[in-house]
């Protein structure tokens, strides 16, 4: 056995020495954490030089700076396995595949093991970095050969064969661990249209036939920054004693539409005898009342005045959203490493036992398993929607994206921040197609 330390003084590249070592190889096994385009070009040069006389295999980490596009091209020619990284909350880089090992086999039973700090990158292989690797010339019977194979096999068991159809998934993992990489462009959630509107759900206590005129509302001051003059106001009027404390299905409301005239903190407003005035005194439990005067506001309230008119038809409440945009973004699903790579743990389980104190005390590392298109919708008035609304919206999004996106779809409904249960400033609303889908279970 002969050992040679290749210590990188600047500009003493390792690659020419490796290229010479593999010229008589029958098998080349590489377990290298990071492989850039320079590294894949070097592997391709080795493959071409061997001209099919030797099998070449690569095990590589999915993490940056591995060049996934170059790895995909390489995987068309050789066997490539990729480690998917471990998703830990406390230290996201802990427990990752970080080996730099090369095993070269020859027909005469001679072997070479290269192990050290060199990644297959330009700076690593071309003498730019200060690196150090041990080159061990040995024979098949030397123990280091079996130990090296055992290590590479352990890496393979916690990796998957590179699958070019999962490129989006691999790229999403890279971005999860390297936020400086360009973000994936979010896909728009279908079925929504921009709609800046102040929506109110209220009971009608007026006993009026046709409602139109001016609406006076006392609002908490926190609504001040969200409501602008000329903003549309939509009031969904339910019959008295049908909205508060009742569950789905609610009766279909009547829609009244108007615009904000003004909002201020003053009390110098009065209702003209010639106009019809209506008042909502408590936005947390809105009731529409006929008003002949405007009660004084509390110190933490402002007065909003809007004109409005009752529409002739009844409408269901659209699916409002008040977030920054109804989008899909890639998200990773994960499972315990023990479940994803069960074969790698069978022997350890037999030795320790699944219920051993050591197994119970060691938290399972989580491994990304697939990618999902996730949308988080800030949806007010969820109580008026059918219980299946989220699943129906999820199904609608899946169908609309099916032609360009094969990922599963997940939709989460969350409450907006600035709202009562019955009033919200919305940014988007569902179009008729999506509205019909949401309420389809009640038809």
CATH architecture, range 2-177: 2-Layer Sandwich (3.30)
pTM of the model: 0.75
Total count of residues recorded for the chain: 443
- CA–CA dist 294, 312 (Å, integer): 28
The alpha carbon of 295 is separated from its chain's Cα centroid by a whole number of angstroms, namely 48
Average pLDDT over residues 48-62: 94
Provide the mean pLDDT of the chain: 87
pLDDT for res 90: 43
pLDDT for res 443: 45
- CA–CA dist 35, 182 (Å, integer): 19
pLDDT in tens, 294-320: 778 888 888 888 888 877 666 789 999
Kindly report the number of other CB atoms within 10 A of residue 52's CB atom: 7
End-to-end CA distance of the chain: 80
Average pLDDT over residues 153-169: 93
| Backbone phi, psi, residue 337, to 5° | -55, -35
pLDDT in tens, 358-379: 444 456 788 999 888 899 999 9
Q: Which of 402, 333, 405, 398 is nearest to 372 (CA)?
A: 333
Is a pLDDT exceeding 60 seen at residue 197?
yes
Is a pLDDT exceeding 50 seen at residue 257?
yes
Average pLDDT over residues 93-99: 79
The domains of the chain are located at: 2-177, 197-314, 321-442
Cis peptide upstream of residue 252 (ω within 30 degrees of 0): no
Query: Would you tell me the crossing angle of helices 342-352 and 143-157 to the nearest 10 degrees?
Result: 110
Is a pLDDT exceeding 60 seen at residue 348?
no
pLDDT for res 347: 55
Is a pLDDT exceeding 60 seen at residue 357?
no
pLDDT in tens, 142-151: 999 999 999 9
pLDDT for res 353: 46
């Amino acid at each position: 056995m002969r050992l040679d330390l290749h210590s990188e003084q600047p500009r003493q590249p390792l690659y020419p020495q490796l290229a010479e070592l593999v010229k008589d190889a029958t098998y080349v096994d590489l377990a290298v954490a990071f492989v850039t385009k320079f590294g894949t070009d070097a592997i391709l040069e080795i493959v071409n030089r061997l001209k099919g006389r030797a099998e070449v295999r690569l095990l590589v980490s999915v993490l940056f700076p591995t060049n996934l596009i170059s790895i995909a091209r390489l995987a068309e020619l050789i066997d490539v396995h990729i480690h998917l990284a471990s998703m830990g909350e406390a230290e996201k880089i802990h427990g990752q595949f970080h080996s730099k090992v090369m095993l070269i086999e020859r027909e005469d039973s001679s072997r070479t093991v290269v192990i050290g700090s060199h990644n297959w990158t330009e700076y690593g292989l071309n003498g730019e970095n200060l690196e150090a690797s041990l080159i061990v010339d040995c024979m098949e019977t030397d123990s280091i050969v079996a130990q090296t194979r055992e290590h590479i096999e352990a890496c393979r068991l916690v990796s998957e064969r590179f699958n070019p159809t999962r490129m989006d998934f691999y790229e999403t993992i890279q971005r999860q661990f390297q936020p400086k990489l360009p973000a994936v462009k979010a896909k728009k959630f279908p079925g929504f249209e921009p709609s800046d509107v102040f929506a109110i759900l209220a009971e009608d206590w007026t006993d009026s036939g046709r409602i139109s005129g001016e609406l006076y509302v006392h609002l908490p001051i926190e609504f001040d920054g969200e409501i602008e003059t000329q903003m549309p106001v939509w009031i969904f009027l339910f019959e008295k004693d049908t909205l508060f404390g009742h569950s789905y299905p609610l009766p279909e409301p009547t829609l009244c539409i108007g615009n904000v005239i003004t909002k201020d903190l003053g009390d110098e407003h009065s209702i003209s005898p010639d106009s019809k005035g209506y008042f909502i005194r408590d936005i947390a439990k809105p009731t529409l009342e006929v008003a002949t005067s405007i009660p004084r506001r509390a110190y933490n309230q402002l007065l909003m005045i809007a004109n409005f008119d009752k529409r002739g038809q009844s409408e269901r409440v659209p699916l409002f959203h008040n977030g920054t945009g109804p989008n899909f973004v890639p998200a990773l699903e994960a499972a315990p490493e023990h479940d994803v790579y069960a074969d790698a743990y069978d022997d350890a389980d037999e030795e320790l036992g699944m219920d051993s104190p050591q197994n119970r005390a060691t938290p399972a590392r989580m491994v990304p398993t697939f990618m999902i298109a996730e949308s988080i919708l800030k949806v007010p008035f969820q109580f008026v929607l059918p219980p299946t609304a989220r699943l129906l919206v999820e199904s609608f999004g899946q169908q609309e994206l099916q032609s360009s996106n094969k990922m599963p779809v997940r939709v989460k409904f969350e409450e907006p921040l600035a709202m009562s249960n019955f009033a919200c400033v919305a940014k988007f609303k569902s179009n008729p197609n999506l509205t019909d889908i949401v309420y389809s279970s009640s038809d």
